[in-house]
Structure 1
Amino acid sequence: MRILLLARVHLGTVAVLFVLTLSACLLVAGLPRAMQASYDEALRRALGAAPAVQTDLTVTVESRSPDEDLRERTQFDSRDSLWREIVPPDLRPLLPRTGHMSAKTTLTPITGTSGQSYINLGWLSDAAERVEWVQGRVPGAPATTRYEGETIPVFEVGISEEALPEMGLRVGESKTVGENDYAVVKIVGAFRAKDPGARYWSHNSELLHVTKLQPPGQLDFEKHITTLMSDAGLSALSGAGRNLSYRWVLPLDATAATALGAPDLRAAVSEFDRVVALQSTGSASPYHLETGLPKLLDDFLAGLSTAQTVMYLVLGGLLAVALGVIVLAVHLLADRLDHTLSLTRARGGALRQVAGAAAALTGLAVVPAALAGYALSFLVPGPVLPIVHAGPLLVVLVAVGFAAARTVAAHRTPLHERRDDVAAARPSAKRVTLELLVVVLALAGAYLLRARGLTASTGQDPFLLLVPIALTLAAALITLRCYPYPLRLLVRLTARGRAAVPFLGLTRAARARSASVLPVLILLPALGVSVFAAVVSDGIASTQRLASWQRAGAPIKVTSEIEIPAAAIDQVRALAGVRRVVLAQTGRVQVGYGAERAEAIAVDVARWRELLGGAPVGLPALSDGALVSPELRGRGTFEIGWQSRLKLATRGVIASVPGFYGKGKFLVVPIGVQVRPAVNTLLIDGDASLTGALERLVPSATVVSQERILHDIQDDPLTSTVRWTLVVVTAALAAYALIAVILSLVIGAADRARALSFLRTLGLSDRQAQRLTVLEILPMILVTALAGLGLGLGLPAALGPGVDLSSYAGDLPVGDYALDPFLPSALAAGLAAVAVLGAYAHIAIGRRRSLGAVLRVGDLT
């Protein structure tokens, strides 16, 4: 059989099949690559945004005796080489050769300060590259001196420029440290970091800044600073009388991390921790690994698992719908070939020959299209996953396999004519039982999923992936089985009327051939998944907005650790674009007369409520007393210490204060209770573009805006990937749904033209023919649209705790799945419009045909 000739004869259908296959293969191969690339970017950004002390691998050991002391740099270097040799292979690409080592003491008090001030000793292997000396000189070798009849070491050290005034020290001064094993610290210079914002200083922040700690039950703060000594100082530094620890920092290169390798990376860190501990054999001080990388990876994998689950659901639905539409196109092509293949069979053609011809013609259309879609997918950046290869192959196999199978089923017997337009075949008991089992299992699965949640914190739960498929299949079966019954009721009602068109149109719809109801299996998942995607996308968007307001508390928030001068506040009010300014004071207050503390904010609540306006957050009204957190409830009237002693009556309990507190002990009081409020917070209603000007007017403050916070939440790679994928899938599914309606119209065109030709011989007008065609097509589309809408709205509720989208919504749970009615209305209206236009186009085309071109000799006798 001449395949190329058949392709030219049926060029239109072959072209449609080519385009559908090309689009399906491009989507199924390109979208996973783009998604995986965004997963990799999300992991790299998460690791890059975390402090280096969390991502880097730090091997630590404490020195407890002179035998365990490291006196020379070479001793540090040899151990650094050892750690790099025993690093597991999965970790090595992420660990560059750069790194640093350190030796530091902790809790070294200044003698005579009763434990209120501490000067610790520190050594950094690369200090010369990291700091610049601004006062004095570089520390030199240690010396000795006599103190209380004993010889003690004198360490020459440098101290950060910032710490000098805060600790009350000066260059050239010496301090005795220790309580039993004394030493003298001689400050010979002051330094500052060459790049204070470098990730490096996350490991050594105690050298740059004074650490303030408040011991339990005390009002005063302890002050700690770590100084910097030379390599020569190691010779006199011992852990025998001090809390001395050594560290080897192996920095992590986040740019080399991939989402696919994250589980292996997590396992490699555990293995490295194990082999590091083995190096402690025979030593009283064990080596151990310090890193927050496993926690970061676990958090990422948990968010990734949710993203992959949502993506699997929508992409699986997209693939199923795309395959369904391609099957419809193959069905159309097979119908076009039916006459040719029937003649071939009648003339002695073998069944294998006609099936091979149909498969070859289908392959001629889909194989080049699949190859083109597969090739185009490589223009999408991202790693090549197995689905990139398997997806196009699956599309080709389904299309060619369906073409061969349908031809075999249709032409097993030569010239065997079938009629299935008279009455629907009664399903067998086995088939009904199987369909009921599917429905029951789907409902039971949805119930169990909500009841038990997920079985694992990370990874894919097969139950979560199977339940939506079962629900979709159950909804499709119910729709197929039930939609003829209301139509038959309408048929009985229209049979009592005088008009024939409603009766005939609804009767044909109720007795639709299997090819006519096949689009239900495509339209229902297409509408269901697209509505589900729209619901999830809208839920994420609304929760992101809520999270941004909860973090900001105002359109613009200005916070400072010190009081904001009145002159600066006046300048802020006069700034162009500022519409309203609400003053507030925040601080930590004493509750009662004991050691209990709570966070507090004094503010004009009424004006703050007006400033929030239509925001999704707010506070109850408050004129006196206090609003308290759940931890402070039930106290009635209580007293706090804040500038002065204040007695406050509890006026309400609130779970959070937008922009400030979300957990712990906190309270909100009217700003008028303060004798002289020390304003350190400004809540501003103004344009987000004012943040730069506000930072210049109040240099001591931190300025944040609700719009900027919302942008940061939405800019997260995982979040943006989930949302744009949902948008792309929704658009693709809507297009496939419309194509399915068009193909269903074309597939039934011949049978419909024949029926209308019969009726035209009885006097059916063109207008009546149009109405009859619309009544035949619209019921199936409308019923399927309603079923798909119900499925899409029900899937988020059915999945329940199985899909935690808080990672993409500012860490707030996404539970308000309110749907904008525009999308389902637009989809239903679009499908109905296509059906109506198709009906009118069909009648317009059929009007040009004569009855003799449609009816055969003897059809009217």
Structure 2
Amino acid sequence: MYLPSRLRSAPLSVFAFAVLCFVTTCVTAVLPRAVDAYGDAALRDVLTGAPAEATLLSGTLPVQPGVDSDGDLVAPALRPERVDAVGGVFARAAARTLPVGTGPAVAGVRNPVPVPVGDPDLPRLTESRPPELTLTAPRALAAHSRPVEGELPGPEVRVEPPGRSGNDVHGGSQRVDAVVTARTAHRMGLEPGDSVAFGAPTTPGEPGFRTVLTLTGVVEPRDPDHLFWTADPVTAQPRRASAASGVPGNPPDRFWRFGALVHRDAAKALLGSESGAEAYWHFSLPTDDLHAAQVPELADGLTSLARGPEATALAREAGAPVTVDESLGTLLGGFARDRSAVAPLLAMAAAGVLTTALVVVLLWSVLAAGQRRDELVLLRARGGSLHGLVRWSLAETVACGLPAAVAGYGAAVWLVPDARTAASLLAAATTAAVALLATPLSTAWLHRRPLGAASEGDRTGRGRGRLVAEATVLTLTTGAVVALRQRGVDEGATDTDPFTAAAPVLLALTAALLLLRCCPRALRLLSRAAARRPGAVGFLGLARAGRPASAVVAGLPLLGLLSALTMASFGGTVLAGVADARDRAALAAVGADARIASPGTLAPELAERVRKADGVRDVSPVRTFENASLLSGLEQPTLVIVDPASYARLAAHTGLGAYPAGALDDGGTGDGGTGDGGTGDGAVPALVSAEVYAERVGGPMRLVAPGLRVSVRPEVVREATPAAPQGSFVVVSRKALEKAQPDLAGSALAEPDTLLVDTEDGGAAGIEALRALTERADAALSLNLAAEERAAYGGSALRSGAERLYRAAVLVAAVLSAVAVLLSLAQSAPERAAVLARLRALGMPRRQGSRLVLVEALPLYVLTAAAGVLLALVSVPLLRPGIDLVALAGTPEGTPAPLSTAVLPLLLPALCLLLLTVLALLVQGRVAARRTDARLEST
């Protein structure tokens, strides 16, 4: 009967406990499910964003031709039944390690390397480069295509032996029917009845063997999204391709690449191509059902199938070595590496949220046990046993907390339905177990012995136990920090380690223990100082704040607040580090907030118009010559001709190789440079990169660029410069260059072809004005923006999802810290109200009562907030070597992305905590004063 009466007598407390169980269980269960869901979404984003052919499991088998008794080329491996048999073997081997079907989705024969088609009637993108053809003999052509003109090709291959036709000596030819798609026919100008010929290589002086395709029809795909057409997109429509021209300095050759389809039984015609023939098989993995957690297993399976034990078994069963394309493995491997690099950061966030949630639950349990202490003491005095009290407490918590915890887990499953259950169920069960068992265990601890003080031996034993616990925590914290730092040095260690992920939480626990040791002594010193001052409020409040307290009762609020503060502050530094890394990488890629470039010389008035545009702070016109020849060395730096004044301002503002403004003046020596002074040899002072300076032998350095021959002397050495953020560089002043070479004055060679634009705080107004201005000025102008470059770094679902999860974890930690503050204040509220009632009865004014509340409770939270800020400041250099933000920031490899110490993320959580504490204390003091006044009036 005790349980129902208790539930009826304190419905608000029961309801609050149920809500707490529901919220904490839901939060701790949602977080791992959200991590899984985010990983799955990122994987789908990677697979859908990649080319279709890169997401397939593909295998090929080169065909070795032979010669029959009539001298014709034959290959048994090209027979349809042989291709299907090897495909079945490949499917069974793939199914042993990968989630594929029982048979190949697409199979056939093709020429592995496109062959050039020299027909002059076919269109060309570069006159000297003919189009290239991929000839395919697929399985089930009729099932996947529909003729729109003509008919499907036949299986006949008509061979013409070598001979003479008039004056033309030919080495023989073969004719085969083929079809092309409607898009190919339109782009390449083909129609039924046309012929396309290509030849195989021959020895010099001998006629070659030709293959002639006769187009019997034009087809359309029945399903353009089917694997039949997407596995090799060139069969559906022509693609533009490019290749090096072979002539140094010439632009690459561009050409068309198209495909044609022949009957499956005519596959032997492919042996007449220059690259021969190969059988192929394509499997489509069920990407919609793949989960990010399966990626490492898939990558290992692909590796085994490509060059491991499964590859050996496949070759033995197929009777020939099947080559497995590793494009999918490379794609999944890159995703797995990025996800593994992000996982430790998310694990740290999860550890912080879980710890804070558990501390909040423990705080509630301690508060509940303390509030019922008098009631349970009375029950114990009336003959109640300790086991009975614990059973009653456990029954109460289970009756109201277990349904709430189950509902919380159900809400987590409803919020994030498609995710693994093991991790979320474990987190929810841990939280629920702590919530249900903490109050009974607290009750057992408080009432383990009858009323009365503990003996001196008990207090000594507790002191020794506390020292052992503190030493254990310190050892664990040191080990976690050292392990995290060493893991950061070891590039191969990318897996998530729970021990290192708990490093910020262990730091918070160590700080809480240290603060628990130092805080009472510091407050007692303050109370002694306050005793010498007039007034009793300060002394009384500080004396009460510094009185000895139970380590458990006082330590839980400190641990909860410091864990939440550390999580929020450390998370803020992580996000600030990501933002800083993206800003630096974008600036290094563009060189300024915006870069306006032209293939030729810019219009003289463009720089002035850009300078007057809204939101533009400064403009620096430059002329660039890429790959200039350094006659005294092997480097080919970028030669940059600049306006020295504006360029010095830009370098100083961007931080990319700032240098003294007069360093590039003729005869001037820059700060920290290597100038030779005025040598009188016509050499121009220059700002050079370290690679260029390393090539210096002695005396001036000579560079040759198209139309220019420049003699320079290194005046300043820097690692980077805005005009040439990538590679080596040599920067000279246009004024100094024209003074050294008067014939360049007014020449187009020294006129700017690029404008580096510095906007006001990178604002959108300046960017939009630049965009509109360049569109109006010249269509050939290119506008490269640092803001767009920065946005591209965080554009993938992997990085944006991880960043959103981290922000959500920081927000949850902040909310839980607020709950911890309210619970810790509620824990001491009854005692504080009783003291205020006694002091009000003795005549203390209400205003002094409010001040007393603040003076008593606020110092602990001020010290906690200061400790949280200090801990975050210390944790950044401690944990920086073990945390790499490159994967989360999405910046290029080699770009530094360390943790950065930002003021606002460090101070904002602490200030919000103090503000919430002050408001809660004021409300608490006002409520207590009103109740006291009401009691005094009633008496």
Which range, TM-score by smaller chain?
0.7 to 0.9
Report the counterpart of residue 797 of structure 2 in structure 1. Answer: 717
Report the counterpart of residue 400 of structure 1 in structure 2. Answer: 436
Cα distance, 1:264 vs. partner? 1.6
Tell whether the 8 Å contact from 2:626 to 2:638 is kept in structure 1 after alignment.
Answer: yes
- For residues 296-320 of structure 1, the C-alpha deviation after alignment (integer angstroms, 9 at most, x for no partner) is 3233223222333222222222222
Change (3 A) 1:220 1:632: same
**1:830 aligned onto 2:894:** no
Q: 2:135 aligns with which of 96, 99, 123?
A: 123
SS at match of 2:414: coil
TM-score for the superposition, normalised by structure 1: 0.81
**1:336 aligned onto 2:343:** no
- For residues 23-51 of structure 1, the C-alpha deviation after alignment (integer angstroms, 9 at most, x for no partner) is 21221122332232111111121222233
TM-score for the superposition, normalised by structure 2: 0.75
Question: Where does 1:411-430 land on structure 2 (aligned, <5 Å)?
Answer: 411-414=447-450, 416-417=451-452, 428-430=463-465
Question: Where does 1:320-719 land on structure 2 (aligned, <5 Å)?
Answer: 320-381=355-416, 382-414=418-450, 416-417=451-452, 428-453=463-488, 456-514=492-550, 515-556=553-594, 589=627, 591=629, 598=636, 600=638, 604=642, 630-636=690-696, 637-639=700-702, 642-649=705-712, 650=714, 655=719, 662=726, 675-676=748-749, 686-688=766-768, 704-719=784-799
Tell whether the 8 Å contact from 2:89 to 2:314 is kept in structure 1 after alignment.
Answer: no
**Distance in 2 (alpha carbons) for counterparts of 1:760 and 1:220:** 92
Q: 1:266 aligns with which of 299, 307, 315?
A: 299
**Distance in 2 (alpha carbons) for counterparts of 1:131 and 1:625:** 71
- For residues 796-853 of structure 1, the C-alpha deviation after alignment (integer angstroms, 9 at most, x for no partner) is 3322232222112132432151223351353343244145325523541452365899
Report the counterpart of residue 857 of structure 1 in structure 2. Answer: none
**Distance in 2 (alpha carbons) for counterparts of 1:478 and 1:88:** 57
SS at match of 1:122: strand
Cα distance, 1:437 vs. partner? 4.2
**Distance in 2 (alpha carbons) for counterparts of 1:360 and 1:849:** 37
SS at match of 1:306: helix
Q: 1:729 aligns with which of 809, 813, 816?
A: 809
Amino acid at match of 1:332: L
- For residues 411-436 of structure 1, the C-alpha deviation after alignment (integer angstroms, 9 at most, x for no partner) is 2345x15599xx99895335324423
- For residues 500-534 of structure 1, the C-alpha deviation after alignment (integer angstroms, 9 at most, x for no partner) is 33222222212142234431121111111111111
Tell whether the 8 Å contact from 1:609 to 1:618 is kept in structure 2 after alignment.
Answer: no
Tell whether the 8 Å contact from 2:688 to 2:717 is kept in structure 1 after alignment.
Answer: yes
Unpaired runs of at least 5, structure 2: 67-73, 119-127, 666-683, 738-743, 760-765
Range with bigger deviation, 773-782 or 233-242:
233-242
Cα distance, 1:405 vs. partner? 1.2
SS at match of 1:248: strand
Q: 2:827 aligns with which of 724, 727, 747?
A: 747
Range with bigger deviation, 819-828 or 583-592:
583-592
Report the counterpart of residue 680 of structure 2 in structure 1. Answer: none
**Distance in 2 (alpha carbons) for counterparts of 1:29 and 1:254:** 26
SS at match of 1:774: helix
SS at match of 2:171: strand
Question: Where does 1:777-796 land on structure 2 (aligned, <5 Å)?
Answer: 777-796=857-876
Q: 2:244 aligns with which of 197, 213, 216?
A: 213
Amino acid at match of 1:647: V
Cα distance, 1:478 vs. partner? 0.9
Amino acid at match of 1:537: L
Cα distance, 1:394 vs. partner? 2.3
Report the counterpart of residue 34 of structure 2 in structure 1. Answer: 34
**Distance in 2 (alpha carbons) for counterparts of 1:101 and 1:696:** 53
Tell whether the 8 Å contact from 2:573 to 2:900 is kept in structure 1 after alignment.
Answer: yes
Range with bigger deviation, 830-839 or 14-23:
830-839
Cα distance, 1:700 vs. partner? 7.1
Amino acid at match of 2:201: G
Percent identity over paired residues: 23
Change (3 A) 1:613 1:234: farther
**1:231 aligned onto 2:262:** yes
SS at match of 1:383: coil
Question: Where does 1:147-162 land on structure 2 (aligned, <5 Å)?
Answer: 151-153=171-173
**Distance in 1 (alpha carbons) for counterparts of 2:212 and 2:694:** 55
Range with bigger deviation, 359-368 or 529-538:
359-368
**Distance in 2 (alpha carbons) for counterparts of 1:205 and 1:638:** 55
SS at match of 1:60: strand
Change (3 A) 1:38 1:8: same
Cα distance, 1:239 vs. partner? 8.0
Report the counterpart of residue 43 of structure 1 in structure 2. Answer: 43
Q: 2:898 aligns with which of 815, 819, 841?
A: 815
Tell whether the 8 Å contact from 1:63 to 1:239 is kept in structure 2 after alignment.
Answer: no
SS at match of 2:903: coil
Amino acid at match of 1:589: N
Cα distance, 1:567 vs. partner? 13
Cα distance, 1:191 vs. partner? 11
Tell whether the 8 Å contact from 2:477 to 2:506 is kept in structure 1 after alignment.
Answer: yes
**Distance in 1 (alpha carbons) for counterparts of 2:821 and 2:209:** 88
Tell whether the 8 Å contact from 2:131 to 2:255 is kept in structure 1 after alignment.
Answer: yes
**1:840 aligned onto 2:925:** yes
SS at match of 2:111: strand
SS at match of 2:372: helix
Change (3 A) 1:691 1:594: same
- For residues 666-708 of structure 1, the C-alpha deviation after alignment (integer angstroms, 9 at most, x for no partner) is 6667799784589987767743597699689877787654333
**Distance in 2 (alpha carbons) for counterparts of 1:314 and 1:239:** 62
Report the counterpart of residue 83 of structure 1 in structure 2. Answer: 90
Aligned length: 838
Report the counterpart of residue 5 of structure 1 in structure 2. Answer: 5
Change (3 A) 1:439 1:817: same
Amino acid at match of 1:21: C
Tell whether the 8 Å contact from 1:591 to 1:641 is kept in structure 2 after alignment.
Answer: yes
Unpaired runs of at least 5, structure 1: 166-170, 855-861
Cα distance, 1:192 vs. partner? 13
Report the counterpart of residue 58 of structure 1 in structure 2. Answer: 58
Tell whether the 8 Å contact from 1:110 to 1:177 is kept in structure 2 after alignment.
Answer: no
**Distance in 2 (alpha carbons) for counterparts of 1:63 and 1:727:** 56
**Distance in 1 (alpha carbons) for counterparts of 2:239 and 2:31:** 47
Amino acid at match of 1:18: A
Question: Where does 1:69-148 land on structure 2 (aligned, <5 Å)?
Answer: 71=78, 75-88=82-95, 91-93=98-100, 98-99=105-106, 101=108, 103-104=110-111, 106=113, 122-125=134-137, 144=160, 146=163
Amino acid at match of 2:885: L
Tell whether the 8 Å contact from 2:594 to 2:756 is kept in structure 1 after alignment.
Answer: yes
**Distance in 2 (alpha carbons) for counterparts of 1:162 and 1:694:** 36
Change (3 A) 1:93 1:362: same
Cα distance, 1:259 vs. partner? 0.6
